Amino acid sequence: MYKSFLLVVALLAASAVQAETIEMKVNGLVCGFWARGIEKTLRKDPATADVFVSLEDKLVAVVLQEGRSIPDDVLTKEVTNAGYTVKHIERTTRSIAEIRASLGNTE
């Protein structure tokens, strides 16, 4: 019984420390220079821990600081102001490494 309790506590603790990642499908990403610009803009937000941009997959991923968030409307506004169109926003727990691997990008 005690071991079961410890297992449950460990699983809950592990799930609590996973960072939230916001994955956005973005139209208009055609140039590395502009992609770096949107990355720089998103990194300015204090809730941002990391950013990954894939031109080929039209994907922008933002990993959040633990316990922090950025509302979808704020992200949409930042991306739109940079000249792009947000097509879809999904919140996941995937790391940048997992996203890169799923896209076949191992850089």
Q: Chain-wide mean pLDDT for the chain? A: 85
CATH number at residue 39: 3.30.70.100
Classify residue 1: in a domain, yes or no.
no
> What's the structural domain count of the chain?
1
Classify residue 77: in a domain, yes or no.
yes
What confidence tier does 105 reach under pLDDT thresholds 50, 70, 90?
Answer: confident
Classify residue 48: in a domain, yes or no.
yes
Classify residue 4: in a domain, yes or no.
no
Write the DSSP string, the chain: -HHHHHHHHHHHHHHHTPPPEEEEEEET---HHHHHHHHHHHHTSTTEEEEEEETTTTEEEEEEPTT----HHHHHHHHHHTT-EEEEEEEE---HHHHHHHHT---
- Over residues 19-26, the mean pLDDT reads 95
Whether the model clears a pTM of 0.75, i.e. scores above it, the answer is yes
